[in-house]
Amino acid sequence: MITIDAIQGLRAQVDAWRRGGNVALVPTMGNLHDGHLALVQAARPLADRVVASVFVNPLQFGAGEDFDSYPRTPERDAELLESQGADLLFAPAVELMYPKSCEEQTRVEVPGVSTLLCGVTRPQHFVGVATVVCKLFNMVQPDLAFFGKKDFQQLMVIRQMVDDLAMPIRVIGVDTRREPDGLAMSSRNAYLTPEQRTIAPILYRVLTGLAEILRSGSSDYAGLQSQAVRELNESGFCTDYVAIRRAADLLEPVPDEGELVVLAAVHLGQARLIDNIEVSR
């Protein structure tokens, strides 16, 4: 695996590879776990070359959030990516990605979907996500790009950006990887104390129960959401939201909507956890 931290070298290598096949990009913020590695595994059979990026993006962190303390494990990340068959690791510095500073950086804003759910409590988060992903797409110019479904809203933001800006990139969502007790794998799980770690899987259990009720035919969306919030708060979480939305656009569903997604964001100690379950009925 080649490791590159400069745009010129990245473009030269990817251009050479593109003459003989297609290229996939797996963007990450590092501190890799099996959920990240699943993206490389999904890309491997569909692409001739796989580029993975590791960049902790300051533009998507709000004031008082965990940019400075976000876990960084560069040597281990490189070893894991190489073990999964990644061909190139792009690991740029902040100064390379934002040479004029974050404040002066041109930004990409995806309207509509960015303002819902996590966009309410983290109003600039998806601007930062869209901006850095747009920059990575321009730098790598991949044919395919792989993102985890754990952040369902982020996946929709990126898909809308690609569609609206006519980017010739196929965006592929990969199913959430979970611990044996159901907790969605996340770099921020490392913030959980042993006691909090025993509580954290309740989030998945609550969402699973809500999804089963929806599959049985219930359309009492408001009541189900309120009940789930109560259960989570009583279990020790501080809940940002539990939302039942249309899977196509994250808007409020009508009664008997066929394709739904149940989403939640909660705080547990220092960790902000997100999860979702898709529901077809």
Could you tell me whether strands 23-28 and 88-90 are parallel, antiparallel, or unpaired per DSSP bridges? unpaired
Q: Provide the CA 245 distance to its chain's centre, in angstroms.
A: 18
Q: Provide the CA 2 distance to its chain's centre, in angstroms.
A: 25
Q: CA 14 to CA 279: how far, in whole Å?
A: 39
Residue 51, classified by CB atoms within 10 Å of its CB into exposed (0-12), middle (13-18) or buried (19+), is buried
Return left, alpha or beta for 31; rule: phi > 0 is left, psi -120 to 50 is alpha, else beta.
left
Set 33, 36, 125, 267: catalytic member: 36
Are 172 and 39 in contact by the 8 Å Cβ rule? The answer is: no
- Distances from the Cα of 244 to the Cαs of 120, 241, 267, in angstroms? 16, 10, 19
267 is a catalytic site residue: no
Sheet strands (E) in 18-148: 23-28, 49-54, 88-90, 144-148
Annotated catalytic sites, by residue?
36
